[in-house]
Homo-oligomer: A and B are copies of this chain.
Amino acid sequence: MASVTANWETQAAKCRSILEQSIPRSHLLSPDQIPPVSQKRVIDYPRESGMLSEQELLITRSTAADLVSQMSCGAWAAEEVMRAFLKRATMGQQLLNFATEFLEESALVKARHLDEIFKKTGKIAGPLHSVPISVKEHIGIKGRVCNAGFVSWCDNISPDDAYVVQFLQEAGAIVHVRTNQPQSLMHVDAANNITGRTLNPWNRNLSPGGSSGGESASVSFGCSPLGVGTDMGGSVRMPAAFTGIYGLRPTAARLPLAGLQAAGPGQQSIPASVGPLARSLEDLELFMQSILDQEPWQKDPSLTPVPWRSVDAPANLTIGIMKDDGVVRPHPPISRALKVAEAKLRAAGVNVVEWEPFKHQEIYDLANAFFAADGFQHLKEVLEASGEPVLPLTHAAFSWGEEMTIYMNWQLNYNREVFRAQYHGLMKLLGVDCILSPTYPGVAPEHETGTYIGYTSVWNVLDHPVVVLPTGLHVDPSLDPEEVSYMPRNKLDAAEHKKYSAHTFKDAPVCLQLIGQRFGDEMLLAAASHVEKATRSP
């Protein structure tokens, strides 16, 4: 027992050392430049600290599309852009602990190479020319450790770049930093026994979400303009929502999963997606189109050969608003954001209808049953292989369900197909193009307290594409007081209700999610653009 314990710590230290060795030395803040731990809000620190030049601030506040635009006219050099992001990412690491590894040297070599190409040809190398991207750690990078948050995988070297990374690189993007994730990849949080806990730049007492919490910290703080996460129950969307950025969970089997590591590969009842986190809707589309224009299905036969099809939202766009999933009532700021959105959408002439939650509890239960279908046997094996401590939120996941038989799994798969057909039929019947809903009962929860994923996981079961977008609103105690008289409808609801405190969440950003129709990712983003224009108008 003692030797196992010694061993896991040694193994974890190896990966921690990789991280520490990789942090760009030249950009490190000295201890006196680092804000005190008691300073919760650090989202404005890059500007406030005075450590970044105006040009560096300008670059690192840019979207990927803007960066490419500036580089394509020669205004900014690739290396200059990369150095600015590496500098800001180093600051981000010291403040938020979002990274698992920096790739400074290779990123700079690649950026200089792209500068040379641009100098010679006058042309950019691709639609993501030298865009620095952060990548969630369990998405493999050739020759580097891929531990997926597990100590027992700290010696697991990826033989190749994951396919999604290959396509992004082919489009010109450069991976400059890899990001943190929770043990088991099943927390609404981002802490593990290897590189520890990632913090939320809006309020370091709050969670950046999970499992793509390193990504949300990275993109929201400006460590990268664009990040790559994964989502099997909300793991792109909750992090995006908690940090006030954009995130897309595409329809499954559009983007390649080859080269990702996680417990329970081969599970196919609830499909996983890889998806982007960004600071604009345009960048989400740029990400998708840059990959799909390369016809990734030619390389990966598990993908569907559906190209990216640029579309306009229908002229009579109809948005269903689901204000409450009927299981867990949203916190006041979320409900306020939905009301504001509804009014603004109506004012902008968008058709808005009430969307009654449809079999939400049943589909949420189905998601949990699917996650637990093997009794978490593979996950437990991977944990036991090192003897690392099982973290509380991993323990909590174990309660989602129990091992089931194949017989039961087939029945539940069948039920899932029925639900998918019913949802599809209902949206058609009601003429609803997209559904606007909470992403989570509240804004970013306090660390270790995020548990209810029912607002996101149902869409994984149904395999609808979903985009998270900021509303521009923030928690305001004067507008979002606690509902002291509310009588919770069940235990889950009571637990989530208790977590709300206007004071605790003051100023946290409020995001919503917009849900499209299966394979309608393009239409979803077009609709999101309409929704954003309408809801962000004064």
Contacts and interface: CB of A to CB of B under 8 A. Distances in A.
Contacts of A375: 406-407
A267 to B, nearest CB: 5
Give the one of A268, A300, A412 with max B CB within 10 A: A268
B374 A413 contact: no
Q: Give the secondary structure class of A's interface.
A: loop
Contact of A406 (B305, B409, B519): B409
Contact of A410 (B253, B264, B404): B264
A302 B420 contact: yes
A246 B269 CA distance: 34
A405 interface: yes
Contact of A374 (B403, B405, B414): B405
A374 B305 contact: no
B421 A258 contact: yes
A405 B304 CA distance: 29
Contact of A306 (B304, B373, B404, B518): B304
Contacts of A413: 265-268
Contact of A414 (B266, B304, B306): B266
B421 A300 contact: yes
A301 interface: yes
Given A266-B412, A268-B268, A519 B305 contact: yes
A430 to B, nearest CB: 15
Given A304-B306, A305-B306, A378 B297 contact: no
Interface string A220-239: 00000000000000000000
A17 interface: no
Interface in A291-345: 297, 300-302, 304-306
Interface in A508-538: 517-519
A469 to B, nearest CB: 24
Nearest to A423: B301
Interface residues of A, number: 42
B300 A407 contact: no
A266 B409 contact: yes
A411 interface: yes
A459 B373 CA distance: 27
A23 B26 CA distance: 88
A538 to B, nearest CB: 38
Interface in A359-413: 373-375, 377-378, 403-407, 409-413
A406 B301 contact: no
Contacts of A373: 406
A123 interface: no
Given A304-B306, A517-B301, A519-B305, A266 B421 contact: no
Contacts of A415: 266
B302 A421 contact: yes
A306 B304 CA distance: 8
A497 B222 CA distance: 69
A517 to B, nearest CB: 7
A16 interface: no
B301 A421 contact: yes
Nearest to A517: B301
Contact of A403 (B406, B518, B519): B406
Contacts of A116: none
A417 interface: yes
Contacts of A420: 301-302
A150 B459 CA distance: 36
Contact of A377 (B269, B305, B377, B407): B407
Contacts of A306: 304-306
Contacts of A518: 301
Contacts of A297: 519
A424 interface: yes
Give the one of A374, A407, A413 with max B CB within 10 A: A407
Give the one of A301, A412, A416, A421 with max B CB within 10 A: A301
Given A268-B268, A412-B266, A413-B266, A407 B302 contact: no
A381 to B, nearest CB: 9
A161 to B, nearest CB: 15
A374 B519 contact: no
A416 B302 CA distance: 10
A436 to B, nearest CB: 20
A88 B401 CA distance: 57
Interface of A: 253, 258, 264-269, 297, 300-302, 304-306, 373-375, 377-378, 403-407, 409-417, 420-421, 423-424, 463, 517-519
Query: Can you list the 3 inter-chain pairs with the closest CB atoms, starting with the nearest?
Result: A266-B414, A266-B413, A266-B410
Given A264-B410, A304-B306, 5 more contacts: A266-B410, A266-B414, A297-B519, A300-B424, A377-B405
18 contacts: A264-B410, A266-B411, A266-B414, A266-B416, A266-B417, A268-B268, A300-B424, A301-B423, A301-B517, A302-B421, A304-B304, A304-B305, A374-B406, A375-B406, A377-B407, A378-B407, A405-B406, A406-B409
